[in-house]
Structure 1
């Protein structure tokens, strides 16, 4: 018995113990250039508290030191002077040197590298470059894309000499005749050329099949594997910061000027450049068509193959080890932990049985021991069967009805994705990019179907913990779920008032309530003959409540049935198409579970439904005060 108690105490000691709130974890982000809108998402994640909410204290370092030295992001991360860095193809080159990197999120879905020449330069195709003086520097990352372009066109890059130019290439290098062609990144040269009235022509590597990623977050593989939660928190907060920055370019540009250039004499010129760059950044992120931070493993693999053809890398790359996948890492760690738990449990069981046998043998005969063991086993079986039966009876009825209702939309979207793939294949338009995008869309929908089970289980569980969440995030998660059907039926979604308001309650249940209301508007509008079908969303804070208004132009509700719409099983749809549970569940979530209120009124063209839940008292609002 003493052995049994000792092992039990050891097991209890191994269980995680919650202590006092931990101090924010300090991490360093190394940029690849000076402070500008190119890195706006990280500034916003810091300024709006997204990093702090994840328990992170992030230092954002410029690539330029006060002494004038330029820091190399891969070198800083590899040496552990920084935890995260911003890079592009230099990550792959460093990876070939066994620096053990892992990419976390690709922010720029296309490379912003371009090559510029004066408008009157005789150029029609890359073959004409042979007679031109090209600005090339050895080990320049921009030059790698030029080499790839030349090789793609059958031109040997070695016929063009390197130069010893120091500093940035500028439009003056073209005007003064120093070079005929100069490289540029993120449109800086074209911006200053337009300011000076100089007309340019440009070469885009992507026009010749050189499809590289641009700015990408990366970290050390060792850090990602030992502390994937830290990396996921940084990725999640950074993407939220980018979403805010891309939706508020002018506000964020002014913040950058005030924060990083407070004493500059040319503040207005810096502001204008950042506003120009904001438009460029949005183009290269492909926002909102592509999810911010999206990573296509095959594109990174293709980039590595291109570098190997240029003889810039030599080894093969394991793409699965190169791309950070939080869920896969969690699953692998869970499997390892489960193995240890199984071994420990087996040892516990064996030793416990041994100790129990020794203890009982001293006081009972073997027959008594067997009878007691059989009786206890039978009682446990009966208790287990009763618990399972009661749980099934409590959850089965309502859960099955709601799961069927919730799954209908994602399954329709999957059908549309498959139809689009079939059409593209039959018309000869099925490209790798379209196929990858469709597969990614399908995976997200399948994940949504899987999460539905967990969401409804939490809805039926009255002990769910309340949490602080952004109303905007709950709304966008619903819009992502319905995106394909909304676009298919030409229904436009507008956000004409957006405040980043925090609510306090059950985030998953709130998202379910939002889905029910938006889906009702969708069902009305999809059969409408209007050409301007739309759903308008407004998010704001009012009298301590986080308010979401969902307004459509679908014709509104008959006043005679207005007092019935929240009743259980009441529906205006055909019985085969409606359960009458949607608005009933929505009212239950908003008013009973979250202590809020739900109301509606007809507008000139349709219906406006208002959902108000308690706002988080820690913030007056989520907007950046700049």
Structure 2
């Protein structure tokens, strides 16, 4: 597909998108104070169009005294608002408000005194005048700070706040509450020395400027709430990254207080510090921290009713879990689920230096807690064996992550899995690649004591000597010191140890056929808890699962083949890749020239809609680059697999050649070499040499990436494809049934068509293996129909599920586990056939009879123009 064609398609799609979102939603945002940098992120999101992009028309309502903002939000008079830590009191008063995020991780509210006043510590506050608002005085951060130094509010003389720092300078008050982002700037400019008492310096780092809305809005407009939160945070990210530009915007449109540029710049820098105080995540809001705030209000007698923190915090990923009344009652009475974990199994889980549960499972259980509205408490243990013992004795209700085994079923039930992890073996660098576990029989290999796959492997590989180790570090260290031949464990855990760089002498030498399907292990005397956790696991969507995986795992595992012959092939491949990269460089230069022409043409469109042009050019370029990289990666993956195939295919011919040469040499020595024997042996050597040459020629042609159209015979192309995958066909016991028209000639790209055959073949092979088909068949036929070449490829794996069939050519769509499929193979095939060769490709399920047996399978039909 040429770039103009892509451009037009994206233009149409984008126009449809604009039409679909033309009905913007009008919403309101109530500020908590007068215009200043404190609200810059919202100004930016509005002025830069971040809200508009998501279909939102936001009215920013200015602050005015006397309005009960939480009540207005709770009554749905206002959609969104900004509030301080005291919001938790409003939630306790049955106002259905929910916090979307906390902008400031520590409150900007502080108390100020002048050095001249001699009030240098909180203990000096007694019997002094303090100027503060009712709202400020009610904030627990200030109260807690005062109480921590034995100063009671009754010891202070309260004055009405004038919001004028000169009252502190002119001694009209001794103490003044103020924002650290504003008043200190004025004092510094006036040359006034001052003391600042900030709650966070006394251990009370309370949240402030929480964005909040109502439960009603979340229930009725979930997408709108999510969009507003996302656009607002995007506005804040931009504002903090471009403080000077944000200040200029406030000066031009939002400067009702007539603040100076210097004041606003100072405020922006100070607020940025508070937003990223002890975190890298903008808007972070932690349940435990909010619970501490609630506890402080409770201790001080300010909290009349208990607050459910889970309901107060917005969770955009929450899924509705359809619990039965019995299950709801169970959770309400249960109140707390006790969980044991593996304390040393990163990236899955461990206890950090502060005893906090971290890792992939910790992220999952945060979701479970929120979705179930139930506390799940982690019982600290030192080893996995101790955790197993605790769940046996019912000290724990569940194990966070475990695999089902026969012995464990005596005391545990298991939920549906939420992680599927490859099991691999790590060895020293000098150990050959392990193709089969039989290669290491009678070898000593380590495995963590109590791990489930130890039980499975002992039964499957009785000749393997299993040595129990305390943990993964112990096992790998003993391999490194030659106490053990290898260590068997889960791929992410081993790879994480390698990434730390402490075990440079080790490698992953092989992958076992087994994988660990891991779920929640639940005490087997509690069926209701099992049912509930099954629903919790199923409630986590695919996108969130992938996000958790990406956050904790950055691993690429590559299969290897320990054949000496492969090095010769790799040398040849390396040269071809260099030529390919050079060709890619030439194409990139040509594409850059083409981009320039496209930009020139789109200037006419930009006069109508400038922003539309920028977006389209960006999307076209992004799409082109991603597509190039993904297609190249998919082809390289096929090449890697074929290298192993070719090496396998060469073994038999090389063996014939070697045997023939050795036989002639021996017969010559003993005078028994006849002319017939000599001639027949030479013929055999010649035939096998030609076979080797044909194999490498086909491989070379495949990886050349030739993009010039040429006329080729379809039968030859199919035979070349079959030769390249011959090793896979044999190793998987697949029978290929051919019915080909020998006279069909195609004017197109022979190599690209082979790639398409390989992609379809790999999907059929995986489906046959997954469904354990005994008599594995793949049929390939070709014929002419209406001046078109028709190729049909079908299998007998039972077909593709009807709900999956319409999506198989979509990018990234795959029904395989993440470690087994990318979702790009059939997408790539579609593009090569349709865009590259002006053909068509379709897929459907068919029933047919072969040798008196009825079969069902998936059929791919490719139609191509003939030469």
Cα contact 2:85–2:139 (8 A) shared by 1:
no
TM-score (norm 2): 0.39
Quote the offset at 1:84 in angstroms: 0.8
Higher-Rg member (1/2): 2
Determine the structure 1 residue equivalent to 2:363: 443
Query: Structure 1 residues 580, 218: CA separation in 2 closer, same or farther (over 3 Å shift)?
Result: closer
* Other-structure match for 1:158: 154
1:276/1:443 Cα in 2 relative to 1: closer, same or farther (>3 Å)?
Answer: same
Q: Deviations over 1:444-477 (max 9, x none)?
A: 8999xx9999xxxxxxxxxxxxxxxxxxxxxxxx
The one-character-per-residue Cα deviations of 1:43-70 (angstroms, maximum 9, x if unpaired) are: 2222232222322211111213xxxx45
8 Å CA contact 2:85–2:207 kept in 1: the answer is yes
Residue 168 (structure 1) aligned with residue 157 (structure 2): no
Q: Residue in 2 aligned with 1:37?
A: 37
Task: State the distance in 2 between where 1:203 and 1:43 align.
Answer: 30
The separation in 2 between residues aligned to 1:415 and 1:159, in whole angstroms, is 52
Aligned to 2:94: 98
The answer on whether the counterparts of 2:136 and 2:177 sit within 8 Å (CA) in structure 1 is no
The residue number in structure 1 matching 2:848 is none
Match of 2:224 among 230, 233, 240: 230
Is the contact made by 1:253 and 1:274 (CA closer than 8 Å) also made in structure 2?
A: yes
Matched residues in 2 for 1:487 and 1:47: separation? 44
Contact 2:120 2:195 in 1 (8 A): no
Counterpart-to-counterpart distance in 2, 1:59 and 1:106: 21
Residue aligned with 1:163, SS: strand
- 2-structure distance, mates of 1:131, 1:593: 85
Matched with 2:126 is 130
User: Kindly tell me: are residues 237 and 452 of structure 1, through their superposed partners in 2, closer, same or farther at Cα, counting changes over 3 Å?
Assistant: farther
Cα distance in structure 1, aligned partners of 2:634 and 2:68: 61
Range moving further from structure 2, 191-200 or 73-82: 73-82
Q: 1:175 to 1:288 in 2, by over 3 A?
A: closer
Q: CA deviation at 1:253?
A: 1.6
Q: Is the 8 A contact 1:26 1:56 kept in 2?
A: yes
Aligned mates of 1:46, 1:21 — CA distance in 2: 17
Structure 1 residue aligned with 2:280, among 287, 290, 309?
Answer: 290
Distance of 1:76 and 1:42 partners within structure 2: 20
2-side partners of 1:50 and 1:300: how far apart?
29
Higher helix proportion, which one? 1
Query: Mapping of 1:558-577 within 5 angstroms?
Result: 567-569=636-638
The Cα shift of 1:75 comes to: 3.4
3-state SS of the aligned residue for 2:320? helix
2:320 alignment partner in structure 1: 331
The equivalent residue for 2:106 is 110
Shift of the 89–122 alpha-carbon distance from structure 1 to 2, 3 Å rule, reads same
3-state DSSP class of the match of 2:151? coil
SS at match of 1:85: strand
Could you tell me whether the CA contact under 8 Å between 1:110 and 1:214 is conserved in 2?
yes
The answer (yes or no) to whether the contact 2:349–2:359 under 8 Å persists in 1 is no
Aligned mate of 1:73, from 69, 73, 84: 69
- Match of residue 241 from structure 2: 247
Are the structure 2 counterparts of residues 486 and 32 from structure 1 closer, same or farther at C-alpha, using a change threshold of 3 Å?
Answer: farther
Q: What displacement does 1:519 show?
A: 7.2
Deviations 1:89-136 (A, max 9, x none): 231222232222111111111111111111344345422222543324
CA contact (8 A) 1:31 1:85 kept: yes
Q: 2:141, 2:205 within 8 Å by CA — same for their partners in 1? A: no
Unpaired segments ≥5 residues, structure 1: 1-18, 337-412, 425-429, 454-483, 490-507, 524-539, 550-562, 596-626
Change (3 A) 1:488 1:232: farther
The secondary structure found in structure 2 opposite 1:134 is strand
Is 2:112 the partner of 1:181? no
Post-superposition shift, 1:24? 1.2
- Pick closer, same or farther for the CA change 1:278–1:442 going to 2, 3 Å: farther
| 301, 313, 319: which one aligns with 1:311 | 301
CA distance, structure 1, for counterparts of residue 348 and residue 195 of structure 2: 39
Residues 1:194 and 2:204 are matched in the alignment: no
State the alpha-carbon separation in 2 of the partners of residues 291 and 486 from structure 1. 28
Tell whether 2:18 aligns with 1:87: no
Assess if the C-alpha contact under 8 Å between 2:106 and 2:274 holds in 1.
Answer: yes
Cα distance 1:92–1:287, how it changes in 2: closer, same or farther (>3 A)? closer
Give 1:63's aligned residue: 63
Alignment of 1:391-406 (within 5 A): none
Alpha-carbon separation, structure 2, partners of 1:208 and 1:304: 18
Aligned-CA RMSD value: 5.1
**In 2, Cα distance between the equivalents of 1:564 and 1:226?**
44
- Inter-CA distance 135–440: structure 2 relative to 1 (3 Å threshold): farther
Tell whether the 8 Å contact from 1:104 to 1:323 is kept in structure 2 after alignment: yes
Distance 1:199 1:418 in 2: 50
Residues 520 and 132 of structure 1: is their aligned pair in 2 closer, same or farther, counting only changes over 3 Å?
A: same
Instruction: Report the Cα offset of residue 153 of structure 1.
Output: 2.9
Distance in 2 between residues matched to 1:203 and 1:260, nearest whole Å: 30
Question: 1:89 is paired with a residue of what secondary structure?
Answer: coil
Matches within 5 A, 1:357-368: none
Residues 63 and 70 in structure 1, CA contact (< 8 A), matched pair in contact too: no
Aligned to 2:770: none
Preserved contact between residue 30 and residue 76 of structure 1 (Cα < 8 Å): no
Residues 357-436 of structure 1 correspond to what in structure 2 (within 5 A)? 415=346, 418=349, 421-422=351-352, 424=353, 430=354, 435=356
Aligned-residue offset at 1:283: 0.9
Counterpart Cα distance in 1 of 2:828 and 2:366: 27
Per the alignment, do residues 222 and 439 of structure 1 end up closer, same or farther by CA in structure 2, a change over 3 Å counting? farther
8 A contact 1:414–1:442 mirrored in 2 = no
Match of 1:211 among 205, 229, 232: 205
Higher relative contact order (Cα pairs below 8 Å, separated by 6+ residues): 1
Please state if 1:278 is matched with 2:268: yes
Distance across 2 between alignment mates of 1:71 and 1:594:
63
1:104–1:218 contact (8 Å) kept in structure 2: yes
In 2, Cα distance between the equivalents of 1:79 and 1:446?
Answer: 30
Would the alpha carbon gap of residues 565 and 440 (structure 1) be closer, same or farther in structure 2, given more than 3 Å must change?
closer
Alignment of structure 1 residues 412-491 onto 2, 5 Å: 415=346, 418=349, 421-422=351-352, 424=353, 430=354, 435=356, 438=358, 442-443=362-363
CA–CA distance in 2 between the matches of 1:31 and 1:300? Answer: 22
Contact conserved, 1:106 with 1:215, CA < 8 A, in 2? Answer: yes
Question: 1:50 and 2:46 equivalent?
Answer: no
Instruction: Quote the residue 1:28 is aligned against.
Output: 28
For residues 27 and 132 of structure 2, the distance between their equivalents in structure 1, rounded to whole angstroms, comes to 36
Q: Could you tell me whether the CA contact under 8 Å between 2:346 and 2:359 is conserved in 1?
A: no
Q: Which residue of 2 aligns with 1:615?
A: none
3-state SS of 1:331 partner: coil
- Corresponding residue SS for 2:260: helix
Higher share in strand: 2
Bigger mean CA offset, 152-161 vs 70-79: 70-79
- What TM-score, normalized by structure 1, do the two folds share? 0.53
The residue number in structure 2 matching 1:616 is none
CA distance in 2, matches of 1:26, 1:235: 15
Judged with a 3 Å threshold, the aligned counterparts in structure 2 of structure 1 residues 488 and 446 are, in CA distance, closer, same or farther, namely farther
Q: Which deviates more, 282-291 or 184-193?
A: 282-291
Distance 2:360 2:34 in 1: 34
Residue 582 of structure 2 is matched in structure 1 by none
1:139 to partner: Cα distance: 4.3
Between the aligned partners of 1:164 and 1:45, the Cα distance in structure 2 is 35
- Within 2, Cα distance between the matches of 1:306 and 1:441? 30
| Distance in 2 separating the partners of 1:48 and 1:253 | 14
Distance 1:183 1:588, change over 3 A: farther
Change (3 A) 1:287 1:148: closer
Distance of 2:286 and 2:117 partners within structure 1: 37
